[in-house]
């Protein structure tokens, strides 16, 4: 996300039971401000309050320069997507290098130079690194080794629930943890007392709210916001109950946003639907979406998934086609994003073209996993493609000769982030995407397996 809505950060609701974690983060920030750069690995289950805590820290450090970036759980990501987010905010040489298509060593060097030389504390946030592409994990390694002497607080958040034993993130976490400047912080769900406080005058029985939510703050607050008379069995039900109260127009926009990704340009939604901005206002007022500069995003990935999975397959295909056309008209240069929508719209020739280009760029940035995934996608469509497209796929294959075997596929529509119930594992092929997430969250049907890569 380009810039976090500052207003939302300043006026956010109070956080319960986070004083010790906040004090710890402030301590690391003070050390970083004193020239002892820190990498903080902030972990916890989906919805436990990692992002909310970092946003809260932002209020405590108004003089620092904040840059936010995130990894997207929807599709095989553009390599170094978070670095491009940071470049948009930091501007200067980094933005220029990104536009020039510089190699990754130069991009890494430029980013480090820019955040270490500003003369103020730089806080750099990389959210949700359980979805990070391989090059982004390398970027974190690069930075973690060079933070000494830099006035930089680097915060990386991730879900620690359901990480497979062979997940690349585990290896990365091991590497990052061995650096002197690295600190770890973990968040636990809320206690029964905190849930009772949140339940306040809602009329809902606090013990039942706690029993069903397990103290997961997202689930608790979603139930309360939905104003339900009974605690629903899952966060998904609470989200859908809220969505059901929207006007038809707003619901349509919400569905489109859900299929577009963790964040979506407001103008894209307007272009695809033709609805006036007032429809978006309704969604922002409902709290299902939050504003983020020129972008909007779901309050949480769990909410996005709940809405996305309720969209019928045939309608989803049409929506992806419309989003693809709108992105094209905007001159979108993110081939990975285009390839995802093209495949989801069943537009084989276009998917092949963008997947081949995305594979090329991923290989160039040494993001081998993403190169291999795009190359696989290109091949799936190569048989029916034009001569040009087939050549593009072959070129991608050659360029990706260094790619490692893809032992498991990485994502698939929403499945990549699919919350799974306690103790349950995805049926097949879910990769880390669908690995176990918090027990409070109901499994989301994986109806769009077609999109799995
Ligand atoms: N300590 C807390 N007290 C009260 N509400 C919280 C707390 N932490 C998070 N929340 C609520 O839960 C929601 C989900 O938190 P979020 O930070 O997005 O989760 P995560 O980033 O860990 O997935 C937030 O939007 C906020 O409304
Ligand atoms: Mg988060």
**pLDDT tens-digit readout, 137-156:** 999 999 999 999 999 999 99
Mean pLDDT on 21-46: 97
221 C-alpha to ligand 1 centroid (Å): 8
Residue 14 has what pLDDT? Answer: 85
Contact between 225 and 290 under an 8 Å Cβ cutoff? The reply is no
Which atom of ligand 1 approaches the CA of 17 most closely? 1
Query: Could you tell me which residues come within 8 angstroms of residue 315 by beta carbon, excluding any fewer than 6 positions away?
Result: 255
What pLDDT is recorded for position 385?
Answer: 61
Residue located nearest, by CA, to atom 6 of ligand 1:
217
User: Chain-centre distance of CA 6, in angstroms?
Assistant: 19
What is the assigned CATH class of domain 2-186?
alpha beta
Q: Give strand pairing partners of 292.
A: 295
**9 in contact with ligand 1, CB cutoff 6 A:** no
* Planar angle of CA 349, 353, 354, nearest 5 degrees: 120
d(CA 356, CA 377): 8
- 123: tokens are 């806080």
Which ligand sits closest to the CA of 47? Answer: 1
Global pTM?
0.86
Closest ligand 1 atom number to CA of residue 300: 18
Distance CA 23, CA 428 (A): 42
Give the Å distance between the CA of 205 and the centre of ligand 1: 21
15 Cα–ligand 1 center, Å: 8
The token pair that represents 45 in the structure block: 């289950």
For residue 404, pLDDT over 50 is answered with no
**What's the order of all strands across the beta sheet hosting 65-70?**
65-70, 122-127, 152-158, 38-43, 182-186
b/e sequence 27-58, b meaning 16+ C-beta within 10 Å: ebbeebbeebbbbbbbbbbbbbbbbbbbbbbb
Residue 196 CB neighbour total at 10 angstroms: 15
Q: Which of 11-20, 202-211, 266-275 has the lowest mean pLDDT?
A: 11-20
Whether 159 lines ligand 1, by a CB cut-off of 6 Å, is no
Nearest to residue 243, comparing CAs of 296, 204, 286?
286
Distance CA 292, CA 413 (A): 23
CB of 51 within 6 A of ligand 1: the answer is yes
Centre of ligand 2 from the C-alpha of residue 391, in Å? 40
Helix (H) or strand (E) holding 222: helix 217-226
- Given a cut of 50, whether residue 224 has pLDDT beyond it is yes
Tokens of 82: 């978070």
**Tokens representing 148?**
């000494």
Q: Output 161 or 176, whichever has higher pLDDT.
A: 176
CA dist 209 and 267 (Å) reads 38
Counting from 1 in the atom list of ligand 1, the atom nearest the Cα of 187 is 22
Other CB atoms within 10 Å distance of the CB of residue 272: 22
User: What confidence score (pLDDT) does residue 435 get?
Assistant: 29
Within 10 Å of residue 287's Cβ, how many Cβ atoms? 13
Cα(13) to centroid(ligand 1), Å: 9
């Amino acid at each position: 996300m380009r810039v976090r809505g500052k207003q939302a950060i300043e006026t956010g609701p109070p956080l319960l039971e986070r004083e010790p974690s906040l004090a710890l983060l402030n301590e690391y920030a003070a050390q970083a401000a004193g020239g002892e750069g820190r990498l903080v690995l902030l972990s916890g289950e989906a919805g436990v309050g990692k992002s909310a805590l970092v946003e809260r820290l932002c209020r405590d450090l108004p003089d620092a320069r904040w840059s936010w970036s995130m990894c997207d759980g929807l599709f095989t990501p553009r390599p170094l997507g978070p670095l491009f987010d940071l470049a948009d905010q930091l501007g200067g040489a980094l933005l220029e290098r990104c536009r020039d298509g510089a190699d990754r060593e130069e991009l890494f060097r430029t980013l480090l130079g820019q955040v270490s030389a500003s003369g103020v504390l730089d806080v750099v946030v990389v959210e949700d690194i359980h979805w990070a592409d391989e090059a982004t994990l390398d970027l974190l390694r690069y930075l973690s080794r060079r933070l000494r002497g830099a006035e930089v607080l680097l915060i990386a958040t991730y879900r620690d629930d359901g990480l497979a034993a062979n997940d690349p993130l585990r290896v990365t976490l091991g590497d990052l943890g061995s650096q002197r400047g690295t600190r770890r912080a973990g968040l636990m769900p809320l206690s029964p007392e905190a849930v009772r406080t949140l339940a306040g005058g809602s009329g809902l029985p606090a013990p039942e709210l706690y029993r069903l939510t397990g103290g997961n703050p997202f689930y608790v607050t979603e139930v309360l916001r939905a104003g339900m008379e009974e605690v629903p069995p899952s966060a998904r039900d609470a989200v859908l109950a809220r969505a059901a109260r929207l006007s038809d127009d707003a619901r349509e926009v919400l569905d489109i946003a859900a299929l577009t990704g963790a964040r979506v340009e407001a103008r894209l939604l307007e272009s695809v639907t033709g609805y006036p901005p007032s429809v978006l206002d309704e969604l922002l007022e409902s709290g299902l979406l939050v504003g983020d500069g020129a972008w909007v995003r779901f309050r949480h990935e769990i909410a996005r998934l709940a809405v996305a999975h309720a969209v019928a397959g045939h309608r989803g295909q049409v929506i992806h086609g419309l989003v693809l056309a709108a992105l094209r008209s905007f001159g979108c240069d993110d081939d990975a994003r285009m390839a995802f929508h093209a495949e989801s719209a069943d537009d084989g020739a276009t998917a092949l073209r963008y997947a081949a280009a995305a594979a090329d760029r991923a290989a160039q940035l040494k993001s081998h996993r993403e190169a291999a995934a795009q190359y696989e996608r290109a091949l799936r469509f190569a048989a029916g493609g034009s001569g040009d497209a087939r050549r593009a796929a072959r070129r991608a294959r050659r360029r990706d000769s260094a790619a490692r075997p893809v032992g498991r596929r990485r994502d698939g529509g929403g499945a990549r982030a699919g919350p799974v119930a306690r103790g349950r594992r995805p049926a097949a092929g879910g990769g880390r995407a669908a690995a176990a997430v918090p027990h409070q969250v109901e499994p989301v049907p994986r109806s769009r397996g077609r999109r799995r890569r």
